[in-house]
């Protein structure tokens, strides 16, 4: 049972274009939604994250859009660059209130930005 569904599986974008990756979740107990970026041979790195009390969060060229009623969230990469080519993972975790935080990951999107 995949609790966080991610699409597309792969994405090719021209330099300067907008990359959009979508995720959907089912568990309404989720209240923290991060995106991770992973380069080959490296560990995932936290890119940007959002909580459901806001509908959008922007950091530089990266924006998360969040739709609580639809239980969907997406990552937008503006002015995509070849250096953005990596695998992107969305994730979700339930209400943070304890000593630890269980992240449920999407299946990943391999982004290739062509020069």
Nearer to other proteins among residue 17 and residue 105 (C-beta): 105
Cβ partners under 8 Å of residue 5, min gap 6: 23, 24, 25, 106, 107
58 in Cβ contact with 71 (< 8 Å): no
62 in Cβ contact with 83 (< 8 Å): no
CB of 28 to other proteins, least distance (A): 17
Nearer to other proteins among residue 85 and residue 93 (C-beta): 93
Nearer to other proteins among residue 17 and residue 57 (C-beta): 57
Residues that bind other proteins (CB under 8 A): 32, 34, 36, 38, 41-46, 49, 87, 89, 93, 96, 98-105, 107-108
């Amino acid at each position: 049972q995949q609790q966080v569904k991610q699409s597309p599986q792969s994405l090719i974008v021209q330099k300067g274009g907008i990359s959009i990756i979508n995720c959907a979740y089912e568990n309404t107990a989720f209240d923290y939604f991060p995106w991770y970026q992973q380069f080959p041979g490296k560990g995932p790195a936290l890119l940007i994250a959002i909580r459901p009390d806001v509908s959008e969060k922007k950091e530089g060229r990266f924006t998360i859009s969040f739709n609580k009623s639809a239980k969907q969230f997406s990552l937008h990469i503006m002015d995509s660059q070849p250096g953005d080519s990596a695998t992107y993972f969305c994730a979700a975790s339930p209400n943070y209130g304890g000593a630890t935080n269980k992240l449920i990951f999407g299946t990943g999107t391999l982004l290739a930005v062509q020069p």
